[in-house]
Structures are given as structure tokens and as C-alpha cells.
Structure 1
Amino acid sequence: MIHPAKIALIAFAVLTATVAQAAEVDFVRDVRPILQQHCYACHGEEKQKNGLRLDIKSEAFKGGDGYGPSVVPGEVEESPLLEMVQSEDEDLRMPPEGEGLSATEIATLTRWVKQGARWPDGVDLANLENRTDHWSFKPVTHPVVPKTQNNTWPINEIDRFILARLEQQDISPAGEANRLSWLRRVYFDLIGMPPSPVQVDLFLNDQREDAYQQVVDELLQSPRYGERWAQHWLDVVRYADTHGFEVNTPRPNAWPYRDYVIQAFNNDTPYNQFIHEQLAGDAMNQDAATGFLVTAAVLLPGQIGKDEPSKRLARQDSLDELLINTGEAFLGLSIGCARCHDHKFDPITQRDYYAMQAFFSGVRYGDRPIQFADNTAQQKKVETLAKRLDIFERQLARFEPLAHIGVKAKVTDAKLNEEKFATLQAKYVRFTVHDANLHPKLGLIEPCIDEFEIFTVEESPRNGALAELGTLVTASGSRTSSNHKLEHINDGQYGNSRSWMSDEAGRGWVLFELPKATNINKIVWSRDRKGDYNDRLATAYSIEAGLTPDTMQRIVNVPPPRAMVSAKRNVDRFKPVTTRSLRFSVQQTNSLEPSIDELEVLNVDGKNVALASLGTHVSSSGNKIPSDNHKLEYLNDGLYGNTHDWISNKQGQGWVELTFAQPQTIDRVIWSRDREGKFTDRLSLEYTIEVIGEQGASQIVANSDDRIRWDKDKIHPVSFSTAGLSEADAHVAQDLFDKISIVKKQITSAKRTPMVYAGIFTEPEPTHLLYRGDPEQPLEELVPAVIQSLGKLQLPKKPTEQQRRLALASWIASPQNPLTARVMVNRIWQGHFGRGMVDTSSDFGRSGAKPSHPELLDWLATRFVDSGWSIKQMHRLIVLSATYRQSSQITPKAQEVDSDVRLLWRFPSRRLEAEAIRDSMIAVSGRLNLKTRGPGFDLFKSRGGLSGFPPVTSFDEKGLRRMIYAHKIRMEREVVFGAFDCPDAGQSTARRRQSTTPIQALNLFNSRFTLDEADAFAAKVLTDVGEENRDNLSQQIRRVYRLALGREPNSIELNDALPVVQEHGLSTLCRVMFNSNEFLFLP
């Protein structure tokens, strides 16, 4: 079966040559006519199906997509191109349509290959186009500022480049805009909101030479600047707060990236650093910055299709989005077009695409904790708390319960506990509580007993403890209430409301005196026979009986059960013993081979003598095949975590032995499966701890018998008991335990950092060239490399995941990269004039637009780099130029020559973006909430299932923040302002459209939002004019104009507005202002 990948490898026919001695085949005379007739239609200058081109020598021999070379001179059987024309399968035979090659043609091609496939140089009918011969792929030039005939108009170098082109076309620049127009223009451009009347008056009255400069500097220092310009960048990188597509699940932690971008613009972060931080901010204390890597809409593996091929496709799609974002945002290249084949226009091969993708092969979409740039205070707080915790734990250690050898753990029952024993004669019976369970909120509190029953040995056994039979009862102490009285303990009635309560936390005793000496053999007691309460339950107790109080013998002893084993930390305390070695043996685990993170052995001074650094040797029954994470020597290296542990080589069993450098007197062993608490498998459930004497005899000092049986639902149980302690010690231990609990919570809180949707970085997975972009058809493995036609990049031999991204960032941000500075300068220019010098601002490739002013673009790019990549310096240069200060008035002659204003003979007026319109409406109404940073506000309500998102129509203070702080929902347009070409972040928006539709006017006049803001605007006007002008409509109208447009109304406007306000109210005029071109357009 011929491989399907070779279907398109048509052309050279194969025929088993029957003529052994043939004349030499001439390529031009004999071979090319065959190729022209049968092959060039699909594999010539116009088309190159499957990446194969046969009209140029170098391309024909190179091969097509997924294989190569296509012809091996002298080797017919090794030349894939020759297989196709002789295939018997009609689906594989080439050409696919029409008659195939004749026998003579096939014989000719076969002889040609056998004779060495000679193809003379210089005979090709076409020339291979040099795709790198394109203006944007060439180094940035340092053009000389042109001279102009008019030397009075230019303010800076920008103007000379612009004017030189205008003079070539015999066009004069427009006159200078009036001060108010320039002020409103620069306010909207730099901060996205209009100036207040006070700010207008200050500028109009400022006669200083640097008045314009002062305004620009003030705006660039405003926090509002970053909010405005961050929106431009977020459009490009497709920022949103949901994943997109039909799933469209939330990204609740995406907002820190939005805040990072705002702050980066406000700080004038050098653009080359801005690039580094977004690609590798985790290496630069800027974790939120790498949100750039995962801004795109994506279906994560498993969201659509849980089978492995679907997951692989989803993974490949997510990497594709990442690479597209990087290529378009920073380089202005459509790299994604090379996923399935070589780029059709630009010098980007499919191999380039996957080599570039390898830089990101360790990046996965998801949340991770933010590591703040300055976390010194946080670290100090954690260190202080950790020291305090260590002190408390060392103090509590002396109260740890001793391990009881030969005792099985018993768990008491709140409803019923039965103790049977050999018959004995007794008149006195004492029940002593040594410990009780912990109350969920109050900790260790006073134990309770509902009913205590002593059964006699008779033909009909009965409860001899009943008060009605004459039995007397005394106690160590009692808390008395209507529910709890001593006499309730033997009144024959059940329930919490008829019980006895001790007056001492965790302990107490009751003594029963029977009417006479009686044979007994069973005792029954309960905390609450009805089962309503299970707190205050005695967990450790003893029962004594005898004929006199002084001669009683212990007949029942229930020691406190030690806590069930925990994956995080276990303590086995025993009486001091001197030994040279200790063995920890495992008999059962909860799964797989046992694993021990760290085995610590403490001497009587509290020092860990098991450490290898102290000369302690470790051996074992056998070790799982060692890896970087699991080695025997990790057992006592003093480091915690799953990456530093020992694993046995036997399922559920194994032992490790520690031999000390010299005899040690020890009393405690501390061990864990994973002290960090991340793993709970491989946990030792049944184990024995032995010490070995000098004669070789072993002694068991602790085992798991007296521990509560393991419960898989209680991963990290609490281990604490005051049993066997004096009352004073019990109080001390309880206090220490409470302090430890508090400090642990404080440490957890101090360590807790907010999450950010900024990518998860893992070990890079292999990157393969994929046949036709199909992850199910991987070809050779590739290493990270940049686009070959644009340069080379030297990487370490085995670069880490982070090193890959850092290296790529350095290459992109290099001053020698021909694209990076040009692309960003063009975006800045577009932000001020509505379109860039390159109209396709995210496509600087061969299919993109040519620059309108290539010399000016390169001059600005050079200036940009020389200024330290300062974006604010670019703003100053542009908005203070005479070009920017032009009026937007049209002159007929210039309009005829340059109707789309590409030569900038006037300022190109344009409508404000959706965000600027909304923000301006709230600003002039006086309700704008200037809160910065943090989670955004909702423009939509939560949806149910896969239904749409219902819009929010009325907003409180939280919803009156700037629109950049709104949660961005993909595939949904904001109900009012979405009509103003507001992108939904489904794809990159390098430049927003400027449409005009009826729905825009309807939304802006009749929506609930407009009505609310118009009412607020009117209320503000009434407040501003004061009570004395409550009925002065002219004064109110003037204030509306000042707030909305920055100027006074002329007499016609005033006369037109008066009847509107008289008949419909002031809020109607405010709505009219919101809909006026002067409010909505840059002047």
C-alpha cells in the first residue's frame, strides 16, 4: 500500500524500462514537456499542492509536505515521485484527473531518473521568488530627516517627513486646530475621557510656551492613561474573562493580567522589558504578565471529546493559539498560517512553525499562584510564625501519648458501650474518664455520661446500679443544670437531658456504692443512648471494682487510641531506650509499594539523630528502581516532599533500618508519606518500629495496633490527647494545642497568594513536525528554533522550559529584530491617528499593506529603541507634532488627491470607541467610580447551562467603573455599547471597525443605561448651578454644554435647547448631548 502522504507527488512517471541501452534523456527536450502537460497545473507557479513544486529545480528535488527528497538520482525505487504514476489504485494514481501518462512518457521519466535525473542549471521557466526580499524583513534603516520648502510649519522631525510627502503631491497641511479641539483630542487619545470645565479653563488661559507640553505630561502621569492604552493592547492579545466557544466557562483569575498591562503602561515599562515579562514574567517577579500566553479563546483537553485523539487535538489547538498571539502581537506575522503547510506568502516554513511552537511546549492553560515582586514582608512573617510553631510543637511533644504495645485501639460509641469481664463480687464500682473527644469548636471539654448500668449475675440479670434499688453515687465533681445532674446517671432514663457532666475538661470519675456485695460480670454505659449527641464522649477510661474503696481492682482499661496514620506527619513516642539501630517495617499500605518521605528519630534532647549528615547509615529490604525523586538516601536527608522520598520494591511491604554512628538514647520517631501533604497514596497503615540491642535482640517500641483504624475519607486526622496527664499538664497541653492550631492557620493565610490565569509551566513535551497539522500524524521531533529566514538563536544544550521562553523573548525584543520596533511604533501611531502607517497593523508580511511613510516608520522605530523603548516618549513626540495639531477641516484640493487622508494633510476625525463613550457618559454625569485594579464588574448575569448570558441593565457604584474593568465575556456583546464595534475577544482585533448602524443611535438614546446617566447628568447640573439657578434654564443649558463639550452654547444652540428643556426636562437635553457628534467624535 502506497503511503497516502505521497498522493500529491505526481509528475514523473515510472515505467519498468524495457530498453536497457537507451539514449541519454535530455531534460528540456524530453522531460519538461511531460511535466508541463501533466503536472504544472497543480504543482507549478500558481499552485503547489501538498507543498510540491515541479517547475523549479531546487523545489522539485526537495519534495513535498511530510517527506523528501522526492527524486533520488539513479534510484528509481527510492524516488517517491515516481511511485504515483504507476499505482494501480485510482485514488492514488497521478494525475488525479484525465488520462495518465503514456507508456512512452513513463519510460522516458524512468530512464531520466536512472541516468541521474540531470536537470541543467539556468533552464527553469520560472524563478523562485525570494520571500525574504520584503521591506519589513530587512534591517531597520536610519533615514535622514528630509528637507522641506516650508520651514515654519514643522515642530519636530515627524512633521518634516509628513510635509515632504505633502509637498511632493502639492498639498498644504490643514490649519492648526483651536486649543479646545486639541485639548479634547489629546484627552481622549491619552486617557479616553474628556477634560473637565476646570481643566479646559486652565489650558485656555495658560499662555506659557510649554502649555501643550504641560498638558501632555500631566496626562501621561495620570492613572487613567494606563487604563486607556491597555485597552488597545488587550484588543490585540484577545484578553477576556471566559474561555470562549460553546463551553465559554469563566476565567475568574484572568484579571491580574489586565491589571499588569495597565500598570506597565502607567510605569512606562520599556517595551523590550514588556515583551520579556509577558513571555517569561515568572523569571522576573512578574507572574501576572504571563497571562499573555493564555489570553486566547481555547477549548481545553477534555472539554470537547474525552478520547485521547480529541485531547491531543485540543492541546495542539491551544498551542496554535499561543503561537498566533505571539506572532501577531510582537512580530506582526501570521505564523499560524504555517501549521499545515509552508506559509503561502511569507518566508515561514512548516518546520519554522513547529520549531517556534517548541518554545512553548511546557506551557499549559490554567491558574497558578502569583508570586509578588516584593514578597519580603510576607516571607518574614512566615518565618516568624514558623519559629513560633516550632517552639510550641517542641513543648507539646512531651505530652504526646505513649505507644501501647499489645493493646488494640478501641473506639468508643456515643450510643452504647458494653464491657464484659469475669464474674467478681463487688460492692463498689468506679468509672474514671481519662480523656474525651474534642468538641468541633470548643476543643477539650467536660465529658458526659447519660446512663451507667452494672449488671448482676442472677437467674434474671438486672441493672444493680439503679438509684431506686438503693445504689448511691458520688463524683469527682459535677456541672449542674436542668439537663445535667449527678442523680441522672442512674435514674434509668436515657438522653442528653438526663445525664451527668463532669466539672473538669476531659476527665472525671463517678463511684457507685451498691446496697450489698453482689456478683457482677457486665457494665454498659453511654454518652447519649438516643444518639443525638456525640461530643463530650469518654475515649479513654478505666473501671475498678471491689468490696471496699481501698481494695478495688482494675477490671477494664481502655487507653486512649492514638490517631490514625496521616500522610503528612506521624509521631510514635515510647519510653526512652538506648540503641545503635532502629528498623521501621511496613506490613500493609493503602496502595502500591510503601513510601516514606522522611524518617526522623529524636533523642531525649529532641535532636534528630537519624540524619545522614550525623553519620547515620540507612539500609532497606529493597528499593524501587531509583529516579531523581525516589532514592533510599532521601529517607534521612532532612528534606521533605514527594520529590525526596524512599519507595520500597515490594507491594504493600518493606523495611528500612537506620544505624547510628554511636549509641543513642531515643524516645520518639516522626515519619510521613509526604510532609507537604500533596500525596496520600503508598501510606503505611500497619507497621512496627523495633530497636536492635547490642546483642542483636530486637525490641518492639511502637506499632500501629493502638492507632485508630485508617479511614480514607479522613486524609489528615488530628492527633491529640490529654489522657494520662495531670489536670495541670492537661490544661498546658490543651493550651499548646490550641496555639499550634492558630499558628498553623496564620501560616496558611500568610502563604496564601491570589491565583492568576497566567499559564502552568511543566516539563516541555516533545514537539514534532505534524503532517498537515494533524497531531495523529507526527513526523520528526524538532528542537526550539526561531524563523530561519529572520535569524538564528543559540540555546543551551538542554534548555529548561523557562530558558526556552526567555531566549525567545530576547530574540523578539532584540534591537536587531527587523519587525518588533516597527510593529509597536505603528500600533502607537494607529492609536493617535486611527490607522497605522501600515494599515494591516498585525500583518507586516508580504500579504499585508505597504507603509504609507516607510522612512518615517523606520525613523520612529530607531528613535523608539534609542529612547530605551519608551512608549510615553513616542506619545510626546506624536501629540506635540504639528501633524497632530492640525484641524480636521477638509480642503477640496487635498481631498481630491488623497481622499482617505493617508498622507495626513489634516487630522482624521473618528468616532470614539465603545469604552471611551461609556466612560465619558459616566464621567460627565459625575458618577464615575475611579477604583483601580482588582476583580472586575459584571456586564452580564451568570448563565444556566449553555444558554446565553443575560445582560445587566442597571448598575450600582461597582458597575460604574471604567469599562476596561468589566468582565469580558466572549461571544457576547454588551447590550448598549457592543453595537459600537466593541470586539468580543474571539480573535485578535488589531484595528477596530468603524460602522454606522441604526441600533447605535437607538441604544444611545433609549437604553436604560442612557436614561440613568442622563438623569444623573441632569441632577449634577442642578447641583452645580446651585439653588439660586433652580429655575434658570439658560444657566443649566450652559452647564450641560460645558460639562459635555467643554464650551458654552452659541445663541442658536441656546435658543434651540430652551423649549426642549421646558417641555421635556433637562435630562432629555442631556440625552441629546450624549448622541451629538461633538460628544462622540474626536475633533
Structure 2
Amino acid sequence: MIAATVTAVADDKKLIADDTKVTPATQASASAASKSWAYLPITNPTEPSVKQKNWVRTPIDAFILAKLEEKNLKPSADADRGTYIRRATLDAWGILPSPEEVKAFQNDKSPQAYEKLVDRLLASPHFGERQGRRWLDLARYADSGGFQNDVTRPNNWRYRDYVIKAFNEDKPFDRFIQEQIAGDELFPTDQEAKIATGFLAGYPDNPNSRDLVQRKYEIATDMTDLVGETFLAATIGCARCHNHKADKVSQKEYFQLQAFFANTSVDEKVPLAKGSETLWDEKYQKQQAAYREATKDIRAKQKAILDSIRDVAYKYHKERYLTDSREAIFKPESEWTPLDRWVNFRLKSVTTDADIVAFLKLSAEDKDSAEFNADNIPKWKEYEKLTAELKKFDKLKPASGSNQITTLTELNHPDSPATNIRFGGIHERPTDEVQPATPALWAGPKVEIKPTETSSGRRSALAAWIASPENPLTARVLVNRVWAQYFATGIVSTVSDFGRAGQKPTNPELLDYLASNFIKQGWSVKKLEREILLSSVYRQSSEERKDALKVDPDNKLLAVYPRKRLEAEEIRDSLLFASGEIVDIVGGPAVFPQVPSNLGAGNLWQEPSDPSDLKRRSIYTFVRRSVPYPLTQTFDPADPSHAHAKRDVTTTPLQALTLFNSDVVFGWSQALAGRVIREAGNNETAQLNKLYEVLFAREPNKAEAALLKQFLNSDEKLIEGKASNGKFEVALPTGLTAKTPINPIRAAAFVDLVHTVANSNDFAYRF
């Protein structure tokens, strides 16, 4: 049993870490660590007094207005209702509002119109999909492992659905933290909490790595960096190789933090709890049963062949590992240390029949190999023949899914492998052993580790420390991330770096108001976002103002609402929604939408198994680390290889070319054109108005309407000229019935117009 209260603090000259008690030296140096704003206790600032009191709709506004009045600036006028509902729907849902929703809001004259809109947005399952996508960026979520083979992880979608569900249910954020870091320890009978640990288990992985001890170090490193960056906005990874150059975090403290994960393994083969099956699971199990029944004879013959060489093949496979791994692998189980236990569990997890097949092939084909065995030649030929027969049944296989979950585990042991400082961060150069502790700089409560019979209790202790209301970082970091989502830039612009190398908050009083209120309101993300959405600062117009530009060129004071380009998924999903073809299903295994035929991804990108797969929201698109989805890749999506805190916003010719040349996007334009004609009728002015209502939540002004009609006229002549030679096939709107009278040439021009308008900045930006 291990019992420790771990405290560590730093002074200007040195970093002191005591693994068992608080010393006078650490107490004396505490003030040095607390001088930086980020590590001071969260305050509850008083709402400032302002002159323009009628502008203050929520306390947020008072904090913003006080800073503006200091610079003799006034806030901007409210945006019109169409702009507001488009902005809020995109921010809260990640898709456009419908024209009917826009009109209902514009016509609602009640004093609670905005409240009713915001409450509707927060109550929708789309809220979880949008907020979930933002969290998955931080969790470096993917449906595959990465590295050269980039193997599929069939259970990962369960973590994605857990995240969506958590935000939709407004799971308290402190509970959300604890489940993701230590759900298996804290709530061992709760399957949902176990699935939540997919946050840590989602690291890029190479199952073919032949150094299992080094792989353990790399996995623990990933987990350490992820927790520090995501929950605490700390660039802790810098201290792995040397003392942090900016923040007072020593290399020793880095490995003390890593020690919290020393006893952590990942089990990807935990059976799904009976009674918890979803419709997706039932479908998978039914298809899997049909496939296994149809192929049982073939698979039995294959198994018999592999069983005949399994022992020698497995011995050969184990001998391929490096020295320190082999020491653990060939050691009797009765002599296993905690590290040996981890290594052998990892070996079992990554070893499959494919390794036995590889040996069979080698021993049958490579005559120069010491493993060559002429008796295996007919076995290999027969195995190849059976494999070819088996492929004929591929269509019966479930396209995706599993009947298992992935979760962290401590393998029912409380004792942990040793954690050592690594000289220069190099795995092969271990030095002193360290015990779990948090960096002194981060302040916060004491960390108390309480092991159980089956677990070290280390991650539970870390989760409790991070989720504590006494922790000065956690709430500040989260509210700052949410603020950045709505205003393009955080109150601290370096959203994942609250250290000395990061930026200071532009409005520290507002940051602490949001953080303290967040904790008071039960760590409720929905209440936090509701207050932001209903604030006057969020309602402001984004029209440029020369007076504000002169005083505050970077708009740090928010006298003007910041415009922002839509993110990759918002662009795709809004086009799909506008076309009327979106399939609105929440959750389930990842899907494979259509990709260009020349993508060259081979088996890494499957053909869509269901027509509806083409039209699901982007959050459900399979995230293959080595093969990004081409349609969204040019619009700066998250990189799933590491925690992605803030989307880049680039402007490149490829973005316009992607939308313009994509057959998929053009197909949506045809569908949108058909939708507009169906809903607006044959009146061309009504059609143009409807198009703008769908895409921009407004009607075109006179200049725009004139330009649109000019485009139609010129494009009609161009198409007519090409069609007259008989070699040009016009692209017509889709979804129209035979009873809908249209001029084919004019209708084709209208498709081109829709395609062009959908490729405009007015569509791609949120104003």
C-alpha cells in the first residue's frame, strides 16, 4: 500500500520537490510561485460601475464596457436579428439556421425572444455535436492509431459519442474531468466512465514497435503532455528534456507528473456490458453473426493451419523484440515486476493471428531464412487459397463497429512501475527514480494518493486535484477556451499556454468572474455559454469602425464583434444542410463519405456502406490519421496527432478550388438549387431571395440582386452556346418533380449561380 501527500514548490534559485511532506523551505517559496496571475487563487471580482448602464445585459457586459470606457470607446450597435441567429446557430450548432427559424425569431416581439432562441440552441442535440467537436480537437481524437500501418480502432467512436452526450446532458465539467482521467478507478462499475478514459487512451500508437519498454515511456509522455496542455494550459512537455526555459518547472517535476500514469495500461478488448447495446451494436452483432456463420468452415481450416505452427511462430514473434522487452517477455510470471506485468499485457494486446500468418509466409517462402521449413510450403499455399475464398464474403462483414469498449486499466494491481528522470528526455538514459507530484508552480490543493487493492490510485488523485475548485488553473483555462470559441480569441490569446511565454489576459477581472461563476454554477458549460450568448458584447455588429480601429487595432477590447471564417466541418455541414440532404442522426460508428477516386488510400478508406453515410455530419466522418478527409483538409481541420487547441485560419487558392471543383459540393449545389425552386416557385426574384435566406439569413440588397441577375443572363448565354453544338450536357437542379416547369438552360445557369454564391466569403464567414 502506498500513502503519500505530495507537495512541491519553487523559488527563484532552485526547484525543491519533497515526496512526503511540506518543508519550511517549500512554505517560504510559495509566494514566489504565486506571483504570476495564472497561479493566484481565483477571485470573485465585483461587477464594475459603468456609465452606459442600459447596455449591460449580463455581468459580462459590465467588465467589457469598463475597459471600453477607459479608452473613451462606445460599444457597437446590436447586429440585426438575422445576423445574430446565423452567428449563434453556427457557434452553438455548427450549421446554419433554417429560413423558418430565422423568420420565427425575427417575428418574435416578446421580451424573451433572445432567451427562447438561446435555450432552444442549448437544448438541441446539435449543441453536443458542436461542442463535442471542439473537445475532440483537444483530445487528439482519431479512429485509427497512426504510424505506418495506421490500424483502425473500432471502439473509438464510443468515446466520441460519450463526449457528445456529456455536453448535451451538461455533465458538470469537474465530473467530466474525473471520468476522463480516472473513470476506471473512480467508477469501476460505470461503463460510460470507463469509455471516458478514451481521452487518455487515444494516443497515436505503433503496435509493431519492438521496444515495449520505450513504448511505455512514449505513451506516458503523451498522457502527461495532454493533461498538462488540455486542462491546465501548461506547456509541461518542454520540461521533459530540460528544465523549462520560461516557467519554473524542472525536469524532475515533469517526471513526477508522469509518475501518475506509471501503472496505466490500455485494454481495447473489454466486452460490452450486457443490456447496454445500442441499435448500432445490435446491427453489428447481427451482421457479424451472419458473416461468421457463412465463413465458419473456412475460418476453422485457417485456424487449424495456424494452430499447427502457433507455438513456434509465437516464440519467433517474441524473439523479435529488443533486449529489455525480451527480459520481461521470457521471464516466468511468478517473477514479474510491475514493469514486466505492463510489458506482457502490452505484448498480448498487440499480438494477433496476423503475426502467426507472417511467420508462416516467411517460413514457406524465404529459403535463406533460418525459419524456412519445406513442410510449411503446402500449408501456406492452402492458407492463401482459403484467404481468397474468405474475401468473397467481405460484403457480409460489418462495415464498422465492434462489441467491445476501450478503457484504461491498472491490471488489478496497486503497485506501479518505477518512474525515472531521463537525462535529456532520452529513454535509454534513466537517472533518479521519482514519486508522483504536481509542479510547485501550478499551486492548488495538496495531492493525496489513496491506493486500493486493484489500483494505484494515482490517476484518481490527479483527477481530484485538477477538478478541485481550489485549483487556480482548471476553471480559468476552460472558460477562456469557451470565450475563444465565441470571440475568435481568448481573454488569454494563448489558450494552451498560461505560462510566462504566453500572453497575459486582456481583461483579468472578466476571466476571474467567468471562472468563479462557472464553479458556483456547478461547473455547467451550458450556463456559461448561455450567459455569453445573451450578452450585449456577443450581440454587437461586426461592421468595421474607424474610431475603434484607431484606438484598438487588434480589437482586444471587443468594441466590434470579431468576424471569423467558418471551420472546416461548419463549411461542409452547412453546405450539406443547405442542400436539404443532411442525414440528422446522432452518434454511431464512424462513416466513410465519398472521396475522389484518385485518392490512392487503398484499404485505409472504405467505400460507403450506406447511402446515408455520404450525408452525415462531419463529426461522424472516419478520422484516419494518415489519410485526412480531402474535402475538409484544405480548411485547417484539427491535427489528430496531438492536442489541437486552436484552429488555424489560412487563406489559400486550394480552398476556393476545392469548393469549386468538388463533384460532391457541386452535387449539393444542384440539390440546393432544386430546393430553392421548390420552395420559392418560378418567380426568379423570390428564388434569389430564398437562396440568400438559406445561406445568409437575409435577402440580397438591390446591388446584389442586380449582380445576380446579370450573372444568370451571361451564364445562360454561355451555356446556350455550348449546348447548341450538342456536345455539352447541362447540369440541372436535382430533387424536382416532372411537374415542375423549368427552362433547362436557365435552370442550369441557376445551378452555376448557387454554386458560385456558396463559394463566397459571405457564406464562409460568420459575421
TM-score exceeds 0.5:
yes
Report the equivalent of 1:6.
none
SS at match of 2:153: coil
Report the equivalent of 1:274.
176
Report the equivalent of 1:923.
577
Report if the CA contact (8 A) 2:154-2:402 is conserved. Answer: no
State the alpha-carbon separation in 2 of the partners of residues 253 and 793 from structure 1: 32
SS at match of 1:841: coil
| Paired letter, 2:200 | L
Report the equivalent of 1:199.
101
Is 1:342 aligned to residue 26 of structure 2? no
State the alpha-carbon separation in 2 of the partners of residues 376 and 355 from structure 1: 40
- Tell me the CA shift for residue 753 of structure 1: 7.9
CA deviation profile, 1:253-299 (whole Å, cap 9, x unmatched): 21111111111110000000000111122243122111001223233
| Paired letter, 2:222 | E
State the alpha-carbon separation in 1 of the partners of residues 458 and 426 from structure 2: 24
Is 1:1066 aligned to residue 750 of structure 2? yes
Equivalent residues in 2 for 1:587-606, closer than 5 Å: none
Report the equivalent of 1:320.
221
Is 1:1082 aligned to residue 766 of structure 2? yes
Match of 1:289 among 192, 196, 204: 196
Structure 2 residues without counterparts, runs of 5 or longer: 1-10, 18-28, 279-292, 295-310, 313-331, 337-378, 380-400, 717-747
Match of 1:221 among 123, 126, 149: 123
* Greater relative contact order (CA < 8 Å, ≥ 6 in sequence): 2
C-alpha change, 1:294 and 1:337, in structure 2 (3 Å) is same
Is 1:1033 aligned to residue 684 of structure 2? yes
Report the equivalent of 1:796.
450
State the alpha-carbon separation in 2 of the partners of residues 1009 and 1023 from structure 1: 21
Equivalent residues in 2 for 1:984-1003, closer than 5 Å: 984-1003=639-658
Report the equivalent of 2:467.
813
Report the equivalent of 2:662.
1007
C-alpha change, 1:1021 and 1:941, in structure 2 (3 Å) is closer
**Worse-matched range after superposition: 756-765 or 231-240:** 756-765
- Tell me the CA shift for residue 371 of structure 1: 5.4
SS at match of 2:78: coil
Report the equivalent of 2:281.
none
Is 1:357 aligned to residue 258 of structure 2? yes
- Tell me the CA shift for residue 832 of structure 1: 0.5
State the alpha-carbon separation in 2 of the partners of residues 809 and 257 from structure 1: 18
Match of 2:697 among 1046, 1064, 1067: 1046
Equivalent residues in 2 for 1:734-883, closer than 5 Å: 754-762=403-411, 763=413, 764-789=416-441, 790=443, 791-796=445-450, 800-801=454-455, 803-883=457-537
| Paired letter, 1:253 | N
SS at match of 1:768: strand
State the alpha-carbon separation in 2 of the partners of residues 184 and 912 from structure 1: 12
C-alpha change, 1:158 and 1:57, in structure 2 (3 Å) is closer
Match of 1:175 among 74, 77, 80: 77
**Worse-matched range after superposition: 136-145 or 797-806:** 797-806
| Paired letter, 1:1042 | E
| Paired letter, 1:854 | P
State the alpha-carbon separation in 2 of the partners of residues 184 and 772 from structure 1: 51
Is 1:890 aligned to residue 567 of structure 2? no
Match of 1:975 among 630, 637, 659: 630
State the alpha-carbon separation in 2 of the partners of residues 627 and 240 from structure 1: 38
- Tell me the CA shift for residue 316 of structure 1: 0.9
State the alpha-carbon separation in 1 of the partners of residues 658 and 271 from structure 2: 40
- Tell me the CA shift for residue 760 of structure 1: 4.4
C-alpha change, 1:895 and 1:954, in structure 2 (3 Å) is farther
Is 1:962 aligned to residue 617 of structure 2? yes
- Aligned-residue identity in percent: 37
| Paired letter, 1:219 | L
Higher share in helix:
2
Report the equivalent of 1:1019.
674
Equivalent residues in 2 for 1:86-97, closer than 5 Å: none
- Tell me the CA shift for residue 778 of structure 1: 2.5
Report if the CA contact (8 A) 1:954-1:1009 is conserved. Answer: no
CA deviation profile, 1:221-259 (whole Å, cap 9, x unmatched): 000110011111111121111222333222222111111
State the alpha-carbon separation in 2 of the partners of residues 785 and 351 from structure 1: 10
SS at match of 2:622: coil
SS at match of 1:801: coil
Equivalent residues in 2 for 1:36-75, closer than 5 Å: none
State the alpha-carbon separation in 1 of the partners of residues 463 and 275 from structure 2: 23
C-alpha change, 1:777 and 1:1022, in structure 2 (3 Å) is same
- Tell me the CA shift for residue 1060 of structure 1: 3.3
Equivalent residues in 2 for 1:726-737, closer than 5 Å: none
Equivalent residues in 2 for 1:49-198, closer than 5 Å: 130-198=32-100
C-alpha change, 1:226 and 1:148, in structure 2 (3 Å) is same
State the alpha-carbon separation in 1 of the partners of residues 554 and 663 from structure 2: 37
C-alpha change, 1:952 and 1:345, in structure 2 (3 Å) is farther
Structure 1 residues without counterparts, runs of 5 or longer: 1-55, 65-126, 378-439, 442-589, 592-624, 630-712, 714-751
C-alpha change, 1:1037 and 1:128, in structure 2 (3 Å) is closer
CA deviation profile, 1:587-606 (whole Å, cap 9, x unmatched): xxx99xxxxxxxxxxxxxxx
SS at match of 1:287: helix
CA deviation profile, 1:305-343 (whole Å, cap 9, x unmatched): x2xxx3322221111011111111111111222212222
- Tell me the CA shift for residue 798 of structure 1: 6.9
- Tell me the CA shift for residue 912 of structure 1: 0.6
C-alpha change, 1:768 and 1:1014, in structure 2 (3 Å) is same
Report if the CA contact (8 A) 2:194-2:408 is conserved. Answer: no
| Paired letter, 2:239 | A
State the alpha-carbon separation in 2 of the partners of residues 57 and 866 from structure 1: 34
State the alpha-carbon separation in 2 of the partners of residues 990 and 278 from structure 1: 18
SS at match of 2:269: strand
Report if the CA contact (8 A) 1:337-1:343 is conserved. Answer: yes
Instruction: Count residues in correspondence.
Output: 593
Report if the CA contact (8 A) 1:953-1:1009 is conserved. Answer: no
Report if the CA contact (8 A) 1:951-1:975 is conserved. Answer: no
Report if the CA contact (8 A) 2:142-2:640 is conserved. Answer: yes
SS at match of 1:883: helix
| Paired letter, 2:623 | K
Equivalent residues in 2 for 1:713-732, closer than 5 Å: none
State the alpha-carbon separation in 2 of the partners of residues 626 and 1045 from structure 1: 66
CA deviation profile, 1:571-628 (whole Å, cap 9, x unmatched): xxxxxxxxxxxxxxxxxxx99xxxxxxxxxxxxxxxxxxxxxxxxxxxxxxxxx9979
- Tell me the CA shift for residue 1051 of structure 1: 3.2
CA deviation profile, 1:693-732 (whole Å, cap 9, x unmatched): xxxxxxxxxxxxxxxxxxxx9xxxxxxxxxxxxxxxxxxx
CA deviation profile, 1:658-704 (whole Å, cap 9, x unmatched): xxxxxxxxxxxxxxxxxxxxxxxxxxxxxxxxxxxxxxxxxxxxxxx
SS at match of 2:55: coil
**Worse-matched range after superposition: 260-269 or 1048-1057:** 1048-1057
Report if the CA contact (8 A) 1:825-1:861 is conserved. Answer: yes
CA deviation profile, 1:349-371 (whole Å, cap 9, x unmatched): 22222222222122234513265
- Tell me the CA shift for residue 1038 of structure 1: 2.4
CA deviation profile, 1:358-387 (whole Å, cap 9, x unmatched): 22122234513265597599xxxxxxxxxx
State the alpha-carbon separation in 1 of the partners of residues 233 and 173 from structure 2: 15
- Tell me the CA shift for residue 946 of structure 1: 9.2
Equivalent residues in 2 for 1:408-427, closer than 5 Å: none
Report if the CA contact (8 A) 1:313-1:775 is conserved. Answer: yes
State the alpha-carbon separation in 1 of the partners of residues 628 and 202 from structure 2: 18
Report if the CA contact (8 A) 1:785-1:792 is conserved. Answer: no
